[in-house]
Amino acid sequence: MLDNQHLFCYLFHMGVKSFNRADHLANERTFLAWIRTNLGIMAFGFVVERFSFFIREIASAIGKSGAPEPTSAPGYSSIFGISLVAIGALLCVFAFFKFKKTEKEIDEETCQPSHGLVTLLALGVFLVGVFLIIYLIDSQTTVSRAT
């Protein structure tokens, strides 16, 4: 059985420039963190979309019982929820390609930081926040007009 030093020497002589296990493990942890983040985005989108369905069903039930129908904002929440699920799935694909690119760069010892995926996610979260603010303000003004 080879110890780490002999394994490194063997791989070096076989043409592998570097065998940095810690870098590869860090790359894998980063990839898994991206996957967890994207699963959270998709789960939030699912909850938003299902909640809009729940609100429509409640409004329908209230309308059938003779109570006045509640006024609600236009059906943005369903579109927003589906969009979040799609964005989360798309970011999973981007995260995979980033993982493979970094893996290759580690092997070739040419690893350079890239900010594309991070910028995309930050911009996406910012836009989600702006949309939520607009949606909540619109919902609040619609409820205020109804009372």
- Is the pLDDT higher at 112 or at 80? 80
The alpha-helical segments, DSSP class H, found in 14-75 are: 21-64
State pLDDT tens for residues 75-110. Answer: 677 888 888 899 999 989 989 999 999 899 888 888
Whether the CB-CB separation of 80 and 50 falls below 8 Å is answered with: no
The two structure tokens encoding residue 114: 């890239």
**Dihedral sign (CA 82, 96, 124, 25):** positive
Question: Looking at the whole model, is its pTM more than 0.85?
Answer: no
Domain boundaries, the chain: 41-146
State pLDDT tens for residues 50-68. Answer: 887 777 777 777 876 554 4
Question: Where on the phi/psi map is residue 12: left (φ > 0), alpha (ψ -120 to 50), or beta?
Answer: alpha
CA neighbor of 143 nearest in space, from 76, 57, 72: 72
